[in-house]
Amino acid sequence: MMFKVAFLSALCATASATISSDSVEGKNLLSKARRANQNYEEDLSWLTKYDMKYSSCHSIHTYGGEGQGGEEEGSSPFGTQHLVKFKLCPSASGCRSCSGGGEYVVALREFVETYIEAKAQIQEHACENVEANCSCDYYNGDDEACMTQCYAKAGLTDCGDNNNDGNGNGNGNDFDVAEYMECKQADFGYYNGNYLYIGPTCNGKSVNLAVFTDAQCTKTAPKGTYDKYNYNYALPYSKTSIIES
């Protein structure tokens, strides 16, 4: 029973994609958020016992603002700003939907950095719960195989595995997705003699990565460009969303 309760608690936390307003990461994120449909930030540090639940992602095309090419020769004055909308819901609501929760927006980069850190902590605690409640005393085999079986029963696939790139490729590469929440030059290949870039795309609920041919990440590179220069491995998070909902 203890194992089941521990697993369900971990599952609830990861499935709902929540960030606690009481955590250091949550307080930092709230300090940079503003209420939806308002142009100014407000002090939300007084909020306690709330969860920030991801709602949607939106891309705004801008002129002379965030994401534009600056003074570089041949650069475009246009750019794209990515924003995340989230709800503040009472923590006591658990995995249930949040009705009437206040809606806020924050830069995608800020939300993803906080989300990844919170998710890693939840994952670590979930793995520790399984390890503490997995009995291998009467298992006819090695302890590692027994523990792997316990992880599988709990629906956890990344425990004790340092060779996953976050996209199920398992190619052993270290890939820091937070680095690409703003358009960044890729460290491989060219397209028509120009550099390639990696940046985020927002499609309502889904947040993905894509390869682009311009420094503003507005022109998508041909399909398979990343695979071509990376031993046929797909770009992490090009098919699965960075933020689970």
46-57: per-residue pLDDT in tens? 667 788 889 899
pLDDT for residue 245: 65
Does residue 78 lie within any of the structural domains?
yes
- To which residue do tokens 């079986």 refer? 149
**Residues 40, 136 share a domain:** yes
Does residue 240 lie within any of the structural domains?
no
Does residue 245 lie within any of the structural domains?
no
Per-residue pLDDT of the chain (245 residues; tens, 9 = 90+): 333 333 334 444 444 457 887 788 888 887 888 777 665 556 666 667 788 889 899 988 776 545 444 444 455 667 788 999 998 888 776 656 676 568 889 999 999 999 998 888 888 999 999 988 888 776 666 778 888 888 988 888 888 754 444 444 434 457 889 899 989 999 999 999 999 999 999 988 899 999 999 998 989 999 999 999 999 999 999 999 999 86
Does residue 101 lie within any of the structural domains?
yes
Q: What SS3 string covers 83-139?
A: EEEEEEEEHHHCCCCCCCCEEEEEEHHHHHHHHHHHHHHHHHHHHHHHHHHCCCCCC
**Residues 99, 193 share a domain:** no
pLDDT for residue 79: 74
pLDDT for residue 38: 61
**Residues 25, 138 share a domain:** yes
Q: Is the overall model pTM greater than 0.85, yes or no?
A: no
Count of domains in the chain?
2
**Residues 115, 46 share a domain:** yes
**Residues 220, 126 share a domain:** no
**Residues 139, 18 share a domain:** yes
Structural domain that includes position 214:
177-229
pLDDT for residue 8: 35
**Residues 127, 23 share a domain:** yes
**Residues 23, 131 share a domain:** yes
**Residues 116, 45 share a domain:** yes
Separation of alpha carbons 154 and 152, rounded Å: 5
**Residues 203, 93 share a domain:** no
**Residues 181, 92 share a domain:** no
Does residue 235 lie within any of the structural domains?
no
Does residue 137 lie within any of the structural domains?
yes
pLDDT for residue 160: 72
**Residues 198, 126 share a domain:** no
**Sheet of strand 50-63: strand arrangement:** 18-20, 50-63, 78-90, 102-107, 34-35
Does residue 244 lie within any of the structural domains?
no
Residue at which a domain ends, from 117, 137, 153: 153
